[in-house]
Structure 1
């Protein structure tokens, strides 16, 4: 019986090196294009998992603006979960304005699957997806890493 390699160990290695300083601005990684229903499906799933882990929206989400379908779908999905999404670098004004949470997203093609990642200073979520013309389905369990 031939051995079949699974991308999960590679995914774990990729996340093992992910660290960010809370004092530095975080920028979104370049994304691989994922379009249409697949972009919407991945964005909806990742936003729901982010909401489960991050909790109620108490601060705006600062997200780099790009024109990819995934970026647009992710903004909409986060709005649907009650998060106010602002452009990266925009400052909230007023004495009661909460400090924005910088959110980084990336998509990478690995072994015929798409690895989606969302990360903040304290939380990193990742999941692999099988992409088809009619959408995308999770191909791995959710990977979660929290930072102090």
Structure 2
């Protein structure tokens, strides 16, 4: 799996620290000068600590081998994420791209990789949450076949689903 410039590889247990960084980037909307949200520690437990490689994930590497972003799936019923949870049969997709690597089509390649992982694992689709105001990501998800299923005003996000 690769994009024209980037190489994609399966996420492993050794990537857990990098997944925590990616979750941090989603929490601060890519602006590392912002403080983390009040619930970041809880989200870290849900999205990273409760993740395991068998749930699926992909890490993108730059041509120089530098981690450039990643995507991972959270499945199961324990520690279920609250943002994009629709039903237990649909794992939730979490994704982030390092700011310096934005604009290279990496987000689309990572979404495609997550869809392939979910399909191969026999899931009927995937869900995700996109923050209000993140129109660039929302357009990306729409292009990849996601549909809005609800708006969660208390969480300031839109829940989207891609079914196979």
Q: TM-score, normalization: structure 2?
A: 0.31
Which of the two has greater helix per residue? 2
TM-score of the pair, normalised by structure 1: 0.33
Structure with more contact order per residue of length (Cα contacts < 8 Å, sep ≥ 6): 1
Name which one, 1 or 2, has greater alpha-carbon Rg. 1
